[in-house]
Amino acid sequence: MLTRAVKPGYFDDESIPALTAEDLEGFEMHCCVKPKKNPNTGKIIGSTIDWETMKPLPAAKVAASSAATEEPEIYGTDFDDLPF
């Protein structure tokens, strides 16, 4: 499912490079956390992520997240006049 959203044809075309963390930027995954159960006893042993949808972010969200990662510009870097 991941390769269908990020790199279609990944398993059919050996020339497609391996997946990296950067490949996931600009995508969102719709999922929920569900209890993970022991298949033999049915006892809850933890949690698991259940997901079925992964899609590109809308353009506005991608632009906003890109702007948030930029370094802020600092004005007036001369702090010698501060009283402490």
**Predicted confidence (pLDDT) per residue in 15-42, tens digit:** 989 888 888 888 887 889 999 999 999 9
Which residues make Cβ contacts (< 8 Å) with residue 51, sequence separation at least 6?
A: 1, 29, 30, 31, 32
How long, in residues, is the chain?
Answer: 84
pLDDT at 44: 95
Prediction pTM value: 0.39
